[in-house]
Structure 1
Amino acid sequence: MRLLLLSNSTAPGRGYLEHARDVIADHLRGVDELLFVPYALAGHASYTATVEAFMKGLGIRVRGIHTGDPRQLAAGAEAVFTGGGNSFRLLSALYEHDVLATLRERVAAGVPYMGSSAGTNMAAPTLRTTNDMPIVQPPSFETLGLVPFQLNPHYLDPIPGSSHMGETREERLTQFLEENDVPVLGLREGTWLRRTGDTLELGGAESGARLFRRGHEPAEHGPGAELSELLSGRYQFDVR
């Protein structure tokens, strides 16, 4: 299995995906055409055009999954990129077009998968640790399950002295662990997770990621951290 899971697709002062250009080029080496899944945003054509402009610089053609039969296009994809936006809208569309199982099978067979933000959320078993507002209601929270643990892209640390009275991201993920025995990896901006077979490595920004486990204090991991042990754990949802 070949996964590249980005926390974000844009960075201050950089063009779309430019902060991760080198790792994307390496991940997609040898790929001639990429299947793009734009369902997380409403403007599918314009979103696909943005991805086309970036991928053109890597010599890769792009086809939007919305331009034909989604299941047929997924079944024949050479590589897949699922973009960011609203995770609930994205997952709802994946169910509507009945492509979840096909994408899961193709990626399990070795087709490279790349996600950013909402597209990264899709790689986890469920949508339960997303930051998004549920603007639509998907039939289920079950996602692709390309990794057995949960992800939280755009992870934000608590801000000392903040006047915000709602829960911090850390508090929300701690609440998730009160109900589920499943690790959550909080990916800060500019970071990514890369899986090659049974190897899992953190890359990107020096800020790294924060790992939450039930019964443990959160742990910090920096770029280059080897997190392969997360792939072999036995995790349980809906336990107290």
Structure 2
Amino acid sequence: MKLLLSSNSTMPGEEYLGFPTPHIKSFLGDKPVKALFIPYAAVTFSFDEYEQKVNEAFQRVGHSVVGIHHFDNPVRAIEEAEAIVVGGGNTWQLVRMLHDQNLMMAIRRNVQSGTPYIGWSAGSNVACPTLRTTNDMPIIDPTSFNTTGLVPFQINPHYMDANPDGHAGETREQRIAEFIAINPLTYVVGLREGTLMKLENDTLELIGNRSARIFMQGMEAYELNPGDDFNFLLK
């Protein structure tokens, strides 16, 4: 499988998809690819607007996207895609629409057969076994928490180490501690902004200039850096 999973789309002061696009270019290769884009996580703006924004970013590095909402048969669109791109937004809405369109297993089958998969934020969440480590408000019943299970661990995108000044609620680490208390056999990766995880040639690596935080029930949370071994997460 080939997966490129980003914590977020854009860093402060950058253009949209600024930091991921060089990695998208190398991930997809030099030959132009027209990827199938899934914009279902968009809630307050249209799928067409989302498609245009992502397409402009991909064109900067010689590739392009077309939205799945243009196809009469979305399952066939998945089956025929050169690459699959799943954008961020609201994970609950994204998961609901993927289930409604019967696309979860279609994505799983085709990515396992070699179709490259790129996701950021909510798009990274749905590469995991479930949506249950998203940060998003549950604005809609997803019908099932289960997602594609392309990787056997969970990602918490936009991971932050502490709460903002003046906020006394639970930290992200405390919330993840609740998850692993209920799900003691599942690793969670706190993926900080500006970082990506890439799976290619059976090797999982962290890309970026920040560490990732690893959580597992019965262990103290710990940090791993780019260049460290992440393959244990695939077992």
Alignment TM class, shorter chain as reference:
over 0.9
| CA distance in 2: counterparts of 1:231 and 1:175, whole angstroms | 22
Residue in 1 aligned with 2:229? Answer: 226
Any conservation in 2 of the 1:31–1:78 contact (CA below 8 Å)?
no
Secondary structure in 1 aligned to 2:193? coil
- Check if 1:156 corresponds to 2:156: no
Residue in 1 aligned with 2:195? Answer: 191
| CA distance in 2: counterparts of 1:197 and 1:179, whole angstroms | 32
Residue in 1 aligned with 2:140? Answer: 136
Alpha-carbon distance, 1:64 to partner: 0.3
Task: List alignment gaps of at least 5 residues for structure 1.
Answer: 233-240
| CA distance in 2: counterparts of 1:75 and 1:88, whole angstroms | 24
| CA distance in 1: counterparts of 2:195 and 2:203, whole angstroms | 17
Secondary structure in 2 aligned to 1:230? helix
TM-score by length of 2: 0.95
Any conservation in 1 of the 2:22–2:61 contact (CA below 8 Å)?
no
Residue in 1 aligned with 2:69? Answer: 66
- Check if 1:180 corresponds to 2:183: yes
| CA distance in 2: counterparts of 1:117 and 1:90, whole angstroms | 11
Residues matched between the structures, number:
230
Any conservation in 1 of the 2:25–2:63 contact (CA below 8 Å)?
no
Aligned partner letter, 1:183: Y
Q: Percent identity?
A: 46
Residue in 1 aligned with 2:207? Answer: 203
Aligned partner letter, 1:33: K
| CA distance in 2: counterparts of 1:225 and 1:85, whole angstroms | 30
Any conservation in 1 of the 2:87–2:119 contact (CA below 8 Å)?
yes
Alpha-carbon distance, 1:31 to partner: 4.8
Alpha-carbon distance, 1:223 to partner: 2.0
Any conservation in 2 of the 1:31–1:79 contact (CA below 8 Å)?
no
Residue in 2 aligned with 1:34? Answer: 35
Alpha-carbon distance, 1:70 to partner: 1.1
Secondary structure in 2 aligned to 1:11? coil
Alpha-carbon distance, 1:58 to partner: 2.1
- Check if 1:216 corresponds to 2:219: yes
Residue in 2 aligned with 1:103? Answer: 107
TM-score by length of 1: 0.93
Task: List alignment gaps of at least 5 residues for structure 2.
Answer: none
Any conservation in 2 of the 1:130–1:152 contact (CA below 8 Å)?
yes
Secondary structure in 2 aligned to 1:202? strand
Residue in 2 aligned with 1:84? Answer: 88
| CA distance in 1: counterparts of 2:210 and 2:59, whole angstroms | 30
Aligned partner letter, 2:25: A
Alpha-carbon displacement from aligned partner over 1:55-97 (angstroms, at most 9, x marks no partner): 1122223110010121111110010110000000000000111
Alpha-carbon distance, 1:198 to partner: 2.0
| CA distance in 2: counterparts of 1:70 and 1:77, whole angstroms | 10
| CA distance in 2: counterparts of 1:226 and 1:49, whole angstroms | 37
Residue in 1 aligned with 2:119? Answer: 115
Secondary structure in 1 aligned to 2:19? helix
Alpha-carbon distance, 1:173 to partner: 0.3
Q: Please, what is the CA RMSD of the aligned residues?
A: 1.2
| CA distance in 1: counterparts of 2:67 and 2:47, whole angstroms | 8
Any conservation in 2 of the 1:80–1:112 contact (CA below 8 Å)?
yes
Residue in 1 aligned with 2:12? Answer: 12
